[in-house]
Every structure is written in structure tokens, then in C-alpha cells.
Amino acid sequence: MKRGWFFEIPKNLDANLLFKELKTYCSPSDVERAVLAYDYAAEAHKDKKRYSGEPYITHPLTAAYFLAKMHIDINIVIAGLLHDVPEDAGIPLEEIAKNFGDDIAGMIKGITKLGKLKYRGLERYIENLRKMFLAMAEDMRVMIIKFADRIHNLKTLEFHTPAKQYRIAKESLEIYAPIANRLGMGEFKGALEDLSFPYVYPEEYARVKKIRDNFISESEEYLEQTMETAKKELAKNNIQTIDVHGRKKQLYSLYQKCLAKNWMVDQIYDIVALRVVVKDLGDCYAALGIIHKLWRPLKGRIKDYIAQPKPNGYQSLHTTVFCDDGKIVEFQIRTPEMHDEAEYGIAAHWHYDEKGKAKIPNRDIPWAKELAKIQKEILNNMSDLENLKLDFFQNRIFIFTPVGDVIDLPENATPVDFAYQIHTDVGNKCIGAKINDQMVSLDTPLKNGDVVEILVDRTRKNPNSDWLEFVKTNSAKTKIKEALNNNKTNWLKKLIPPLKK
Ligand code: MN
């Protein structure tokens, strides 16, 4: 698998560089599809510019390039190229489906919906996200593209107003990064966090960066030597090391640790950890033994995440040892497969190996189960927000307003139910509805993920009593009856004037 930092943007990034990358792992016909998608997107966005002044197409191009660098499945890359076409260029999804197939159009549909979710205070936002998770359980690939999209947006945040910078960065830090983490996508999580960190906590960012920079400049040489010693000793014992490298702790993650340790920085042993990649499971434990023979381990610091993986699937052996001169160093031992999982998590399942052979997509991955777990985790972390039980969501559908709010309704609910969920007045004055931009009758059953727009007539006085025949929610029923009764009483009041005192 490809390793390293995938979110660098080359100075000379253009479509050809993307195609060149794709050629290293895709078939010529797949590359050709990407060329078509690029041309299509470039044409669709041709009149638009980014805040940076660059042509808009640089954005989807960069997002797609990040994905291609990881050797991700071509359809995901193509969806990355096209991801803003419906939203920004107003081209309907059917067009995209016609040109690029249903699979790609389906992903873009998911992204477009995500894009419409707007931050309006944390509580509301978490609420929305929670529902969104379930609504998008159908296709996890959407998240991979969304992360690449967001990472590029974070990298070009400087061109926005401070308020917008803060909003986007905070949302990335608090919502996107934890999701990436939960999905085991370490590379994405690290990038999302470290790109957001300086905008949300500028002073803390500077402080932590200084701590890490100082540590590295003080220990670099020492760590080099330790790495060499370990490598030699492992080789002497017939353990083949595929890779030994130092990994710097990500700044935001270091910040979290500083907080946990009350800024007692000398108690943090993994500002730089030494990573040892060996060929198989047996070698992991063997390597651990050899390192422990070489250097004495700290008590209680040996962690076997192989036997007991972290909840996000992370596997490795961790140990902290007293190296020469009593210096303390953390080692992380793993196989290449564990390494891939740690960096890419769920994304690794759509990854192509070096020979361009898809070991994936693995259709058997239980995404829904994964998402249910995430869901639970989010719920657990929201003790102060109103508790909603998981089963509450069963047999519910999630409907989007045109501005991206999510309304949940029982199955087969209608636009009228939806209208009353938004506001009683919207219900009472509702005269028509559009589902996914199509005019429909008011009794049309809604489907999960529909975007619904309610047309109102402000002069309308009464709801229609016929609606009682088809509405599915009790609240709509009650409100319709209430409105009808009120009007009846009003009418009676007019007929029988109140007695004069
Ligand atoms: Mn975008």
C-alpha cells in the first residue's frame, strides 16, 4: 500500500498529474472515464471561481487527487471529481447518472445532501448529524469523498472570513475528525484535526507546536540511533523489518494528551514513537520480545492492541522502554496490513494494491453495524443533550429540507406531515410540495433521504380536512383538527357577537 502524507498539494497540480497517478493503478479504460469526468466537471464549473481566485475546478481536482494518491477505487475518484457539479452548476443528478452511471451518481447524491447540512449551533447540528448517519448508512464511500473535500477546504481556509474559518474548522474538529477516527481512518483524522487546530485554538496550537519542535530537535539524533540499534538487533534474530520509521504525534492529538497530563510534558512518551513494521503476526510478538530483551519496558505500558483491538479496529503492539541513557521511547509494532488499516480504516477496503489489483471492494463489510456503533458512541458522548434511544430511529425515515435540516418521520409519512413538523403555520398554509424538485401531490409517501420543499400560500386560512385521511403523524392530525376547530369557533364567534357588558 502507498504510505505517507497524502494531502500535500503539488505546485504543478493539474489534470494530467491526476491522470498520471491513476495510470499507476487503474486500467486505461478507467483512466479514460476519469478524463471524461474531469472535462465534464471543468465545463460545469467553468464560470466559477474559488475564494482564492483560482478556477473552481481546482477544488474537485485536488480532492480527487488526494484520493488517487491513496490508490482508491476509481469510481470514488470520479465521484470526487464530480462531487460539486449538482450543487454548484445546477446539473441534475439524472444527467450524471446518464453519463457516468448510477453508482457514481448515487455517491454524488449522498455528498450533495451532506453539503446541505449547515451548522446552526452545536446542539442542532449534532442532532442533524446523528440523523444523517443513519440516512447515509447505505454508502460509506460518501464519507471518504467528503473527508477529501473537507481537507482541501481546510487547506484553503485562509481566504475566508475569520467567522467562517472558525465555523468550518470547529465543525471539522468536532464532527468530521471523530467520525474519521471512529472509522479507523487515521490519516484523515490527523489531517482534519491538524488543519483545523490553529483556527480553533490558535494559542494552544502555537504552544503545542513549540513543544513538539523542541522535542524533535533535541531527540532526532538519539532516535535515529535507537532505530538503527533496534533494526540491527531484529535482523540478528532473523526478524525481517519491512519498515522502521519515526512517527511524529499529530499536534491536536498531542494537545489532547497535554491536557490529560496537565501539561507535564515530560510524562508524554510518544511525541515521537518508533514504528516497526514486520511481516506477520508471529514476528510482531517476536519483535516485542527482542526489544524488551534489549531495553527494559516500563511497567504497565505494554499494550496488546492485536489481541484486543481498539474499538475502531486499530491493531498494533505498543511498548515503552528505557533506552540507552535512561531515555524513554515508545515502540509500535505492526504488520503492513495493520498499518494500512490504521491509516485508512474503512477506506482501505476500496484501496487498490501496488499491482493495481483490487483486493476490494469488499461487499461484505457490515457498514450498517459500524454506523450503529458510531451512533451509539455519539449518543453516549452527549449526556447533556436530550437522550434519544436507538430504537427510536427504527422504522423512521429522514427527510431533508431544501436548506439541509433533517426532519425525521415515520415510514410512509407525507409532505403534509413534513410541513407540520417544520411549523404549524407551514402546515396550515401548505398548498403544494416538491420532492427532489418534482411537484407531487400532498399525499405522496416520502422516502428516506428525500429533499422536500413545501409551497405555502400565506393567505390560506384553513388546512384541508381531507388531509386527515392520509397524514401519518399524530402531531399533524392534532394540529389539523385544532386549526379546523379554531376556525369553526371563530366563525361561530362572528355569528354570535359576544355579549356586551
Ligand atoms: Mn466540495
CATH number, domain 394-495: 3.10.20.30
Give ∠ CA 318-320-324 in degrees, rounded to 5.
Answer: 140
Give domain limits for the chain: 5-200, 203-350, 394-495
* Residues with CB in 5 Å of ion ligand 1: 84, 149
Q: What's the CA-to-centroid distance between 297 and ligand 1, angstroms?
A: 47
Q: What's the CA-to-centroid distance between 180 and ligand 1, angstroms?
A: 17
Q: Domain 203-350, CATH 3.30.460.10 — does that match?
A: yes
Domains 5-200 and 394-495 share a fold: no
Q: What's the CA-to-centroid distance between 80 and ligand 1, angstroms?
A: 8
**Residue 445: per-residue pLDDT:** 93
CATH number, domain 5-200: 1.10.3210.10
Provide the grid cell at 312. 475502531
Q: Tell me the whole-structure pTM to 2 decimals.
A: 0.68
- Residues with catalytic function: 87-88
Long-range CB contacts for residues 129-135, cutoff 8 Å, separation at least 24: 129/175, 129/378, 130/375, 130/378, 130/379, 130/388, 131/393, 131/398, 131/406, 131/408, 132/398, 132/406, 133/371, 133/374, 133/375, 133/378, 134/371, 134/375, 134/393, 134/398, 135/398, 135/406, 135/448, 135/449
**Residue 496: per-residue pLDDT:** 46
Per-residue pLDDT of the chain (501 residues; tens, 9 = 90+): 344 567 889 999 999 999 999 999 999 999 999 999 999 999 999 999 998 899 999 999 999 999 999 888 899 999 999 999 998 888 999 999 999 999 999 989 888 877 665 555 555 555 556 555 654 556 778 888 989 999 999 999 999 999 889 988 988 887 788 778 767 788 899 999 999 999 999 999 999 999 999 999 999 999 999 999 999 999 999 999 999 999 899 999 999 999 989 999 988 999 999 999 999 999 999 999 999 999 999 988 888 988 877 766 788 999 999 998 888 999 999 999 898 878 777 666 666 554 444 444 333 344 445 555 555 555 455 443 333 323 233 356 778 888 767 777 877 899 999 999 889 999 999 999 999 888 999 999 998 778 899 999 988 888 999 999 999 888 788 889 888 887 655 544 444 444 444
Cβ contact 110:136 at 8 Å: yes
Q: What's the CA-to-centroid distance between 346 and ligand 1, angstroms?
A: 21
